[in-house]
Structure 1
Amino acid sequence: MRIDTLSTFPHMYDSVMGESIMKRAQASGALDFHAHDLRDWTHDRHRTTDDDPYGGGQGLVMKCEPIFEAYDDIVAQGAAPYTIFLTPCGEPFDQGVATELSEKDRLLFICGHYEGIDERAYSLADKCISLGDYVLTSGELASMVIIDAVVRLIPGVLGDEGSSIDESFYDGLLEYPQYTRPANFRGMEVPSVLLSGDHGKVDAWRRQQSLIRTARLRPDLLESANVSQAERAFLLSLRDGTIEGA
């Protein structure tokens, strides 16, 4: 997969894309990443990317001319990218959106700053995404979160091919509790089923714990979660008393 970003602060990506899984993904050839500086498509001495809004108001608005010019040049470098804008008006980001984006050959993130972006630039968007109902300094931060969530879903990026399947939100549930050595620490013991060596019992315990944890901490997820009729009956039984074991 190729991912391009267009922003006024491209070096913000250096640390994130140069470490851990993102670094390994690039080294293996699974990811081809390019951070572009929007100022490279300006034509004045001050490399201006923003201006006062028409109609007055506080703050500055990102100009549409450099965005369109940059888009044209970036698109000319290969296959047309699936273009994403980060905006509070966008579709809420979740694991389903991450999976959808991971299936694209090329992504382009256009990151806003200042008060916003000239509305005409959004005509370039294939999708607008919001991370949530809060305000960030810039779109670079939001794009980093999305890129991380997407890249780890690319086949071959994670060392254990099954690890992304077992994670939270894969089937709409939170992940089960995890433990490692020592088996007893300050009186807190690892559940005995995990030490039993019975993989069937371990799998059943983990599934039940995912259901319990989701019901307790994120019950809103259960409406669309991938659960069986028997599991839904189990969840209903939890409502009669205190949920334990999570």
Structure 2
Amino acid sequence: MTLPDKATLIIGASGGIGQALAQQLAEQGESLVLCGRNQTALAHLKANLAAQEKHTILVADLTSVAGREAIVLAVSNAPIDTIINLAGTNQLSAFKKQTHESIETTIHTNLTAIMLLIHDLIPLLETRSSSTLVNVGSTLGAIGLPGYVTYCTSKFALRGFSEALSRELADTAINVKYFAPRTTETSINSARANAMNMELGNKADSTQYVANELIRFLATEKESCHLGWPEKLFVKINSVLPSAVSKHLKTQLPIVRKYIG
């Protein structure tokens, strides 16, 4: 596989945010490596990008050993300077109703697989003059919500992993960043989740807006970024006065229980 001399690797490129991000970066002249599990979806995405000849498809499953090895090999074949982890899964459910398999899948997809991949990439990236790793989390990585216990757990841990790794690598040329959107208009949200958010009055951002904000974040020296108002305010309040947030969320429980059973 021939890769461009300089590129951004988007893991989870065929998802909603991934597609919007790829389109905006391509329009800015970036060369992209589009990574995901569905070759047809990736091919369709590439065919609709500006200067499609500059972009490469990488069919790889982040959650598998073979998939992670393929990603590491791709990075080793070219000086990819930016890696953006967008892969993730979500499920609206009462925790007691989740199966062991769904819990394990969520934690593995949203956290463990990403950690294992980055662990294997670090020795390679340490040989580069500079590189940036971006882990895309969620507002729910800072605020625990009923109905999303396992998802929140995975994103809380991803945020902690990104923060700790950023500090551990602070004296290297590897820059680790964490980006946390609020609810976004993508297929990761079920019809039930969308209906619940509408009844609760929770706003959702477009994928184009989130992609644009992610690109802006990449251009800064900030280590982390949270999107959305009042979500950003709730993140700050939850860090210093969680009881106030708990009190507010308790008033919403009757609505939440309608959708999680």
Q: Which has the higher helix share?
A: 2
Structure of greater Rg:
1
Q: Name the TM-score, length of structure 2 as normaliser.
A: 0.30
Q: Name the TM-score, length of structure 1 as normaliser.
A: 0.31
